[in-house]
């Protein structure tokens, strides 16, 4: 010990700090550790088999008070007073309810006002604190990294593992820092940052890394914006995306229902201030971008890396230099029924979807409402606004945003994942084209044969009014 204290302490990244303070045990000769998991989030789709596994093995959740659950993935966003029509969805929703009751787990049930998309509800209710480790059987768990958290998506076996042991066996990831210098230009949002970074680094660029987003442009983002960005870390292959906590973080989480209170909170804030990466911490990979280069973007293909600026044209497969990417571009254009060279703003839409754990928060609806105000949805476009949670919905209604949407011809729905993955009745028909604020434009994601373009909330709103993509920088606000 005495000897150790003479050595200067090695500088650490935020990921290292949180990781180190959660190591329960490392078996000699093993390069993975048993990592304590502070918080587990569950939803109806990836949890039933985990609970079933527990029961079969005669086990119980180790710390049920550190688990919370919502029903979000396959719930309908209309007619909530009626039983769910799809019998299989109904069964999943009921199974989660029964499992939570049996094992003493806090469930925000379908008709509670707090219900909503898991990654919207958990921070909103105060289940997420800086410095935590958190997992969920869902790849967009990285969202919570926005609070300075190691938040990881897992499969169902690992949901069961966390339930039974409150730990996971994990190998440390490599670290990557993505710094965005400067100020985002007008019209560019956190969503555009995400699409830009994924476009530059590819869908696999982050694989194996815990990514920390840093720099002036990131510090300037609201908590909602940081969540949007961390949410999409997985689309570049990174399981973890993080932003260092700061005063904005503390202000956002303060007074949330499940948050520490009073003195406990103040004490915790002092500790959380030590979380940011040390100045001289070394990352395995450093990437820097200039905020000024980030313009409003639209995806044209079938993975989130395939995007261009809204003022660009649809690329041609021959624009790509490796054969593999050319092949992918060709297949994507075919699936999307797009012609290389077409201006992005000529692409006509059948649907607009506002919502999801990427852009279903209050700020997103405020931004979209500003655009929509005083306009009507274009003929031939069906537009739905799906709040990320009941709390978002209530807040939006208190601000009169629902009226703005409804007056314009949007449908104002109940909270849930909705068209983001179309496990409920909200889905595209084959061939239909949608501008969505969600995170995945995979083949069939919004319904078999459906075509998805990912954009920011303001860009989606403008597209709904115009019937085609439109450069938000030229928008005339009412």
Partner 1 sequence: MQAFIKHEGVVVPIDRSDIDTDQLVPKQFLKRVERSGFGKFLFFDWRYLNDNYDENPEFELNRPEYRDATILLARRNFGCGSSREHAPWAIADYGFKVVLASSFADIFYNNSFKNGYLPVKLSEEQIEDLFQREAKHRPYKLNVDLEKKIITDQYGLKIAFEIDDFRRDCLMNGWDDVGLTLRFEDKILDYEKKHGIV
Strands 106-108 and 240-242, how do they pair?
unpaired
Q: How big is the CA angle at 158 (ends 154 and 164), to the nearest 5 degrees?
A: 145
* Residue 357 interacts with which of partner 1, ligand SF4, none, CB < 5 to 8 Å by class: ligand SF4
Structure tokens at 68: 């919370």
Kindly compute the dihedral angle of the four CA atoms of residues 420, 423, 426, 427, in this order, to the nearest 10 degrees.
Answer: 80
> Does residue 213 contact residue 229 with C-beta atoms inside 8 Å?
yes
If residue 43 lies in a helix (H) or strand (E), which one and from where to where? strand 39-43
438 binds ligand SF4 (CB under 6 A): yes
Alpha helices in 232-338 (DSSP H): 247-253, 262-272, 323-336
The option from partner 1, ligand SF4, none interacting with 88 (CB < 5 to 8 A, set by class) reads partner 1
| 14 lines the binding site for ligand SF4 (CB under 6 A) | no
Site for ligand SF4 in 78-117 (CB under 6 A): 117
Tell me how many degrees the CA angle 468-474-478 measures, rounded to the nearest 5.
Answer: 95
Can you tell me which of 10, 20, 30, 374 binds partner 1, judged by CB under 8 A? 30
Q: Which part of the chain contacts partner 1 (CB under 8 A), choosing from 4-12, 188-196, 254-262, 321-329?
A: 321-329
List binders of ligand SF4 among 401-420 (CB under 6 A): 417, 420
* 68 lines the binding site for ligand SF4 (CB under 6 A): no
Q: How far apart are CA 321 and CA 81, in angstroms?
A: 54
Token look-up 């890394």 returns 209
Minimum CB distance to ligand SF4 smaller for 333 or for 417: 417
Task: Give the x-and-dash track for 413-452 against partner 1 (CB under 8 A).
Answer: --------xxx----------------x-xxxx--x----
Helices 48-56 and 87-103: crossing angle, nearest 10°?
Answer: 50
Residues 145-204 binding partner 1 (CB under 8 A) are: 153-158, 160-161, 164-167, 169, 171, 203-204
Q: Are 200 and 235 in contact (CB under 8 A)?
A: no
307 contributes a contact to ligand SF4 by CB under 6 A:
no
Q: In 3-state terms, what secondary structure has residue 223? A: helix
Judged by beta carbon distances under 5 to 8 A according to partner kind, the member of ligand SF4, partner 1, none in contact with residue 97 is none
Q: Which residue has the tokens 């190998």?
A: 171
C-alpha pair distances (Å), 142 with each of 123, 248, 289: 12, 19, 21
Quote the CA–CA distance of 150 and 37 in Å, as a whole number: 9
User: What's the closest the beta carbon of residue 324 comes to partner 1, in angstroms?
Assistant: 6
Which of 133, 199, 356, 424 touches ligand SF4 (CB under 6 A)? 356
Q: Is 251 in the site for partner 1 (CB under 8 A)?
A: no
Q: Write down the least CB distance from residue 364 to ligand SF4, Å.
A: 12
200 token code pair: 């530059």
Q: List interacting residues with ligand SF4 (CB under 6 A).
A: 72-73, 117-119, 138, 140, 356-357, 417, 420-421, 438-439
Q: List interacting residues with partner 1 (CB under 8 A).
A: 24-25, 30-32, 34, 36, 45-46, 48-49, 52-53, 57, 59, 62-63, 73-74, 86, 88-89, 91-92, 95, 137-139, 141, 153-158, 160-161, 164-167, 169, 171, 203-204, 207-208, 237, 239, 303, 324, 327-328, 421-423, 440, 442-445, 448
């Amino acid at each position: 010990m005495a000897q150790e204290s003479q050595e200067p302490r090695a500088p650490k990244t935020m990921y290292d700090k949180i990781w180190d303070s959660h190591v329960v045990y490392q078996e000699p000769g093993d390069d993975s550790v048993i990592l304590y998991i502070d918080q587990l989030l569950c939803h109806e789709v990836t949890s039933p088999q985990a609970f079933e596994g527990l029961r079969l093995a005669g086990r119980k959740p180790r710390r049920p008070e550190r688990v919370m659950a919502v029903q979000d993935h396959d719930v309908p966003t209309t007619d909530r007073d009626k039983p769910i029509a799809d019998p299989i969805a109904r069964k999943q929703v009921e199974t989660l309810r029964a499992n939570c009751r049996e094992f003493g787990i806090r469930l925000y049930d379908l008709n509670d006002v707090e219900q909503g998309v898991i990654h919207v509800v958990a921070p909103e209710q105060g289940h997420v604190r800086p410095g935590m480790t958190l997992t969920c059987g869902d790849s967009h768990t990285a969202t919570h990294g926005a609070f300075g958290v190691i938040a990881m998506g897992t499969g169902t076996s690992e949901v069961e593992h966390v339930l039974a042991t409150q730990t996971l066996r994990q190998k440390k990831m490599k670290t990557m820092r993505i710094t965005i210098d400067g100020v985002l230009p007008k019209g560019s949002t956190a969503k555009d940052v995400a699409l830009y970074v994924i476009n530059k680094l590819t869908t696999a660029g982050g694989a194996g890394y815990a990514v920390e987003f840093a720099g002036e442009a990131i510090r300037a983002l609201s908590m909602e914006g940081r969540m949007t960005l961390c949410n999409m870390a997985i689309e570049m292959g990174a399981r973890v995306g993080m932003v260092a906590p700061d005063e904005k973080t503390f202000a956002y989480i303060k007074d949330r229902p499940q948050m520490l209170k009073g003195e406990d909170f103040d004490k915790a804030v002092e500790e959380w201030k030590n979380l940011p990466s040390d100045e001289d911490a070394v990352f395995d990979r450093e990437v820097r971008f200039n905020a000024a280069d980030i313009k409003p973007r639209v995806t044209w293909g079938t993975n989130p890396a395939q995007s261009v600026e809204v003022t660009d044209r649809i690329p041609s497969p021959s624009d790509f230099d490796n054969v593999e990417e050319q092949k992918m571009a060709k297949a994507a254009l075919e699936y999307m029924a797009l012609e290389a060279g077409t201006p992005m703003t000529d692409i006509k839409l059948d649907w607009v979807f506002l919502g999801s754990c990427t852009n279903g928060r209050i700020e997103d609806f405020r931004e979209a409402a500003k655009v929509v105000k005083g306009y009507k949805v274009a003929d031939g476009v069906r537009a739905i606004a799906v709040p990320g949670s009941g709390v978002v919905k209530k807040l939006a209604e208190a601000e009169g945003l629902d009226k703005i949407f409804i007056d314009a011809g949007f449908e104002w729905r109940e909270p849930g994942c909705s068209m983001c993955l179309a496990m409920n009745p909200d889905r595209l028909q084959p061939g239909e084209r949608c501008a969505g604020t969600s995170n995945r434009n995979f083949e069939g994601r919004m319904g078999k044969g459906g075509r998805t373009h990912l954009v920011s909330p303001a860009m989606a709103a403008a597209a709904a009014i115009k019937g085609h993509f439109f450069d938000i920088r030229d928008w005339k606000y009412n």
